[in-house]
Structure formats: structure tokens, C-alpha cells
A and B are shown apart, each in its own frame.
Chain A
Amino acid sequence: MTVMLAAAAAVLFGLGTYLLLQRKLSRIIIGLGLLTHGANILLITAGKRGNPPIIGESRPEDLADPLPQALALTAIVITFGVTTLLLALAYRSWLLNGDDEVQDDVADRGIGQSEVVHDEIEDQLQVIAREEHR
């Protein structure tokens, strides 16, 4: 059982990571969902297995450890909220851009390109100078 859960967590982590590396926001969000589920399964496996943790139903040493389940529940609720916000943002992005691709940072690209463009112009000037010389 634990091995199966571990395998499930591993598969979820793998798929989630793959989807995270895509450019479309909808895929990234699904990837994040899978990733967080993987983490939650891992959290569930951290506790002891056993009967439902209700006092009086069975002997205390047979009870499952309820704490990781409570922790997983909290984590699920938090991810749920954040995923909803992300979906809203993806929708907003679709409204603004017409698609949900994650955009480049314009200022970053500007700084990156300014040097490149500068170098290219220099190169072209040198070529022209050489041809004129000839």
C-alpha cells in the first residue's frame, strides 16, 4: 500500500513538473494541481495507517494517525484557493491578450536586446566599412 502511494506521488510529481514547463498557463495550472496532489499524498503516507481515529471505536494502538490527514486537508484548501485565483488571472490574461501564454518580461527583454542590437549595428557598420574599403 505504501509503495503504491509512493509510486502515485512519484507519478504525480513527474507529470506535474512536465506540465509546469509548458508555456500555456492552463497547462501550468493543471501541472500545479498534480504537483500539490503529489505532495498531499506524500503527507498522507507520513502517518500511521489504522482504523478511523474515533476514541471508543477501537483500541488506541490500532487508530490511524489523524494529524497528517488534517494537515493534508489544510494544504488542499489552501491550494484550492490559490488555484482559483490563478484561474481568474488566466482568464484575465486571456481577456487582455487573446491567449493564456505566459508573456516575457518586457523590461528584461529590452535590456537584453539593447546590447544585442547595439552589437549587430556595430557588426553591420564594420561590414559596410570593409566593403567601401574594397
Chain B
Amino acid sequence: MSWLLPLPIVLPLLAAALSILAGRSKTAQRVIGVGTLGALVVVSILLLIEVERAGIVVIEAGDRPDPLGISLVADRFSAVLLLVAEITLFAVLVYAIGEPTTERNHVGFQSAYLILAAGVAASFLTGDLFNLFVAFEMMLTASYVLMTLGGRQEQVRAGMTYIIISLIASTLFVTALALLYSATHTVNMADLAVRLDELPSGVRTAFAVLLLVVFGIKAAIFPLFFWLPDSYPTAPSPITAVFAGLLTKVGVYAIVRTQLLLFTDDSRPATLLLVIAGATMVIGVLGAIAQDDIRRILSFTIVSQIGYMVMGLGFFTVAGIAAVIFSIIHHILVKTSLFLTTGLVERAGGSTKLSRVGGLVRTVPIVATLFLLSALSLAGMPPFSGFISKLALFEAGIDAQHLAIIAVAIVVSFLTLFSMLRIWTGAFWSPAEVAPPPAPVDAKRNGPTLMVLSTTFLVACSLAVALAAGPIYAFSERAAASLLDRDAYIEAVTGP
């Protein structure tokens, strides 16, 4: 079944080309886009089943013997993230089709979106550090186009910051690759893991920190997060949603993968990770409290939530990493649905500024309900999935004797609840302070059916994660155990 591995990368790329060719017919483009992403959801389910059976699935491109060939590898961690990512991409595409502006007005939207999907899948599945760079670039280039779709002044300003920061990160990545290659003469991750072990531990720590900086920019950890709240809010709402849900999490995936696979206990910057995690959580949530725009509040809470994931990684225990995997699954779904709901709020209220919208709980009750469910989950209220992910993180931290960071994390989760309640009272509960601009005239009050349906679908998915928390957490534990077992990965890729 290893032939399934290239499909999540190849199919969307082909579909992107077809979609451009079919540019004259919006219907054809939509059939291609939705069909491809729907098929990919099925493919990733099959892949997950296969990985659960076989442990690690590997395919060498062109069937060349490793390490010459380019390996695609799926283990439990990458397979489950791939599934969640494809579900999210699918739901957001349906939302974008329902939205009356973004997708309808731009011929290239579907293509760029499909290339983004290919890039995200390639980042999860690649077994080669240079290909990770290429996958990142694929994803980022598509994201540059999507972010500046429309070319409004604000978008151009934010787009520049975003592109320049990403390009600097990519240059650093190339630099890191050059240094790694001159030290080890390989870029295959399994091979790198073996050969890095022969280097002095100081050099390995330097590489670990260099890669942490490279991926830290993409994941938006402190102090490299400043571009995120600045650029994300300016994109059209479905695009912000998919960026918020997926792009930073791909960065977190890369951090987890490289730190766990390439480095051993003596060279991992564990204390540094915990300090960064604490700072990311605190600064992110304080930023969120200061903002007035819903999108900006949510963008800052992304930063804060990334802190939780880095914290779990910093413990370097099975429980900690299992909690990270669970949080990533939870966070992709919840954050995307929050941003999708914000798009609905903008339609209904005419603005996303807390001072300008208000009383939405009476005019758009469905949107209000969807928002409340996701917001409470993000803040970690029981019985939602956010509560389970935080509980797992806290337990792992207490087991690993890192009480100080857990104290910080608990305070931050209260502040997150506060920032979510600010949105709730500001936009939904109380009347607006300033009269809002006139809302777009629309027969359906809660928003176009497709938009509401796809948001509801994602919220339902996150509720399902809470309901099936037992099995999913058990799966996360198995995934964490196999992540910490470097030898199994190396053996699966390079052969015994």
C-alpha cells in the first residue's frame, strides 16, 4: 500500500494545473478542487489505516536505493496530521466556494489553494530535509499568492512583511542545509540521524538550535512571531482560516520531527524550548488581550497556543509528545473553525472590530453558537477537546517535574478564556459601542448555506475529537512512542 504515499502530493499538483486550464468554467474548477480534496481525505484515511497496521510506510521515488533516492515516509504522527489537514482543507474550500467574493473573483484561487494542499502534504510526508525545504517553499509560494489576492493596499503591506520574513527563514534553512551537508554529506533525514550521532555534541546542539530558529519563524514562536498577527488578519477570511489552522502547525511538525529524529538527549535544547514556550504563551495571550479586532485577537492566540505545543515537546517524554500531537489535532480544527466563524461575523456585522459589532447573538444565533463552542474549546473548558489537550499537557509536565512552566501555562489558559470572553461579550452579547457600517444585504441572515455548513462540519469534527478523546489519545501515545523510537524510523528508511 506504499503507492498511496505520493498521491497527496501528486494529485493536487495535477489538479492545480487542470484547474488553470479549466479557468473559463467556475463549475469545472470547483468540481476539480472539491473532487481532489475529497479524494485526498479518503487517501489519507487509507494511509492512516495502513500506517496503524504496518508502523512506518516508506516509498523511494524512482525506486532508487536509499539514500540516493528521495524518500517519502509516513509514520503515525505524519499520517494523522495529514488526515486532519486534508479534512480542514476540504472544509475550507467548500466555505470559500460558498463565500461570495474571494473564490468567485479570482481565476487562480483554486490552483494556488491546491498547490498549498500539495505543499502541506509534502511537508508531512517527506523523509528528506532538502525536500522539506522544497515542500515549505511550495506551500509558502502558494500562500503568498493567496494572501495578496485582490491586491488591496493593506494586503500589499502585510504581504510584503510576510514574504520577506518567510524568504529570510528560507535562506536560513538553505544555510542550515549547507552546513549540515558539509558536516554529514547527506540530506536524507534517516541518514542524517545516523551520521549526526558521530559529531561532537556541541556541533549537534548548534544544528538543533539553528533548525529550531528556521522552523521557529514558520511556527511563530517567541521572539520570531511578530509577523503573524500583522499579516494573517489582512487576507480574505477562508484564507486566513486555512493559514491559521495549518501553516504554523506545519512549522511545529517540522520542529517536532527534526528535534526528535535528528538529535539525541544530550544535544536537544530542552531548557531553551521550555523558556521559549513560556514566553510564547505569555506574550501571545497578552497581545490578544490588547487587540480590538477579532481576527487580530485570534491571531495572537495562535501564537499563545503554539507555546503550549513547544512546551509539550520540551518535556521530551512520551506523555508530553502525545499531548503535543493531541493539541495539534485539536488546534487545527478549532482555530480554523474560529476564523471561519469570524468570516461569518464579518458578513453579519459588517466589521470584525469589537467596538463596532455587537448583539449578534440575537441576529445570527447559529454563528454565535458555533463561535461559543469553538471559543470555549480553545480556552480549554471541559468537556471540549481543548480541555483534554491541556489536561494531558499539564499531567505530562507534572510527571516531568516542570512545575514552573505548568504554573505559567495555567495562568495563560485563564487569560485565553478572558480574551475569548471579550470577543463573546463584545461582538455577540452586548450592543455595539459605535454604529457598525451597514451589513451586506443578504436574504440568509446567518450567511450563505455552504459557509455555515462547512463551519458546522469543522466544529462537529472538533466535538468528535472530544467525544473520541480516549481512542485518539491512545493513538497519540502510540505515535509519540514511535516518534521517540529513532532506530525504528532509521531502519524502516535505510533498511536493516
| A82 touching B141, Cβ below 8 Å | yes
A40 to B133, CA, bound (A): 14
Pick from B141, B175, B182, B290: contact of A39, CB below 8 A: B175
The reply to whether A45 and B156 contact each other, CB–CB distance below 8 Å, is no
Residue of A nearest to B182 (CB): A46
How far does the alpha carbon of A103 sit from the alpha carbon of B144 in the complex, in Å? 18
Q: Which of A78, A81, A86, A93 makes the CB contact (< 8 A) with B157?
A: A93
Contact A46 B167 (CB under 8 A): no
Q: Which of B7-15, B145-153, B249-257 contacts A (4 or more CB under 8 A)?
A: B145-153
Mask, A75-94, CB within 8 Å of B = 1, is: 10011011001100110110
A89 touching B181 by the CB < 8 A rule?
no
Which residue of B144, B160, B290 is within 8 Å of A111 (Cβ)? B290
The residue that A86 contacts in the complex, of B153, B160, B187, with Cβ under 8 A, is B160
Q: Which residues of chain A are near B151, meaning CB under 8 Å?
A: 92
B178→A68 contact, CB < 8 A: yes
Which of A32, A35, A39, A45 is most buried by chain B, counting CB atoms within 10 A of its CB? A39
Q: How many angstroms from the CA of A68 to the CA of B172 in the assembled complex?
A: 16
Contacts of B148 in A (CB 8 A): 89
Classify the secondary structure of A's interface with B.
helix
- Cβ of B181 to closest chain A Cβ, rounded Å: 4
Distance of A106 Cα from B155 Cα, bound (Å):
12
- Residue in contact with B159 in the complex, picked from A32, A42, A89, A105, CB distance below 8 Å: A89
Interface assignment of A127: CB less than 8 Å from any CB of chain B = no
On chain A, the number of residues with a Cβ less than 8 Å from chain B's Cβ atoms is 39
Complexed CA–CA distance, A129 and B179 (Å) = 65
Complex interface: chain A residues within 8 A of B177 (CB): 43, 71
User: Which residue from B137, B168, B178, B296 sits with its C-beta under 8 Å from A32?
Assistant: B168
Residues of A within 8 A of B157 (CB): 93, 102-103, 105
Chain A-chain B contacts (Cβ-Cβ < 8 Å), number? 107
| Residues in B neighbouring A92, C-beta threshold 8 A | 151, 156
B163, A36: Cβ atoms under 8 Å?
Answer: no
B482 contacts chain A at the CB level, 8 A cutoff? no
How far apart are the CA atoms of A49 and B145 in the complex, in Å?
39
Digit string of A100-127 for contact with B (CB within 8 Å is 1, else 0)? 0011011110010000000000000000
A71 touches B167 (CB 8 A): no
* Nearest CB of B to A85, in Å: 6
Contact of B168 among A35, A42, A85, A97 (CB under 8 A): A35
Task: Produce 1/0 per residue, A54-84, CB < 8 A to B.
Answer: 0000000000010110010011001101100
Contact of B134 among A46, A68, A74, A105 (CB under 8 A): A74
- Given A32-B168, A36-B174; A82-B181 close (CB under 8 Å): no
A43 close to B161 (CB less than 8 A): no
Distance in angstroms between the alpha carbons of A22 and B290 in the assembled complex: 29
Q: A39-B174, A43-B181 are in contact. Are A111 and B168 (CB under 8 A)?
A: no
* Binary B-proximity of A18-35 (CB < 8 A = 1, otherwise 0): 001000010010001001
In the bound assembly, the distance between CA atoms of A85 and B163 in angstroms comes to: 9
The answer to whether A20 touches B168, judged by C-beta atoms less than 8 angstroms apart, is: yes
User: B178–A82 contact, CB under 8 A?
Assistant: no
Tell me, in angstroms, the Cα distance from A46 to B187 when the chains sit together: 12
A24 vs B187: C-alpha distance in the bound complex, in angstroms? 37
Q: By the criterion CB–CB under 8 Å, are A46 and B171 in contact? A: no
Complex CA gap A20/B161 in Å reads: 12
Q: B residues within 8 A CB of A111?
A: 290-292
Are A107's CB and B293's CB within 8 A?
A: yes
The answer, among B134, B141, B182, B187, for a CB contact under 8 Å with A45, is B182
Across the interface, name the chain A residue whose C-beta is closest to B134.
A74
In whole angstroms, what is the CA distance A96 to B151 when docked?
Answer: 10
- Complex contacts, A81 vs chain B, CB 8 Å: 141
Task: Give bound CA distance, A28 to B168, whole Å.
Answer: 11
Kindly list the 10 A-B residue pairs having the minimum CB-CB distance in the complex, ordered from nearest.
A46-B182, A42-B178, A39-B174, A43-B178, A46-B181, A103-B157, A46-B178, A96-B153, A78-B137, A39-B175
**Apart from A43-B174, A71-B130, A71-B187: 19 A-B pairs, beta carbons within 8 A:** A32-B167, A35-B168, A36-B171, A39-B171, A42-B174, A42-B175, A42-B178, A42-B179, A43-B177, A43-B178, A65-B185, A67-B187, A68-B178, A82-B141, A93-B157, A96-B156, A106-B154, A107-B291, A111-B291
Which A residues contact B (CB, under 8 angstroms)? 20, 25, 28, 32, 35-36, 38-40, 42-43, 45-47, 65, 67-68, 71, 74-75, 78-79, 81-82, 85-86, 89-90, 92-93, 96-97, 102-103, 105-108, 111
Q: List 27 A-B contacts (CB under 8 A).
A: A32-B167, A32-B171, A36-B171, A42-B178, A43-B177, A43-B178, A43-B181, A47-B182, A71-B130, A71-B187, A78-B134, A78-B141, A82-B140, A82-B144, A82-B167, A82-B170, A86-B167, A89-B163, A90-B160, A93-B157, A97-B153, A102-B160, A105-B158, A105-B230, A106-B154, A108-B230, A111-B290
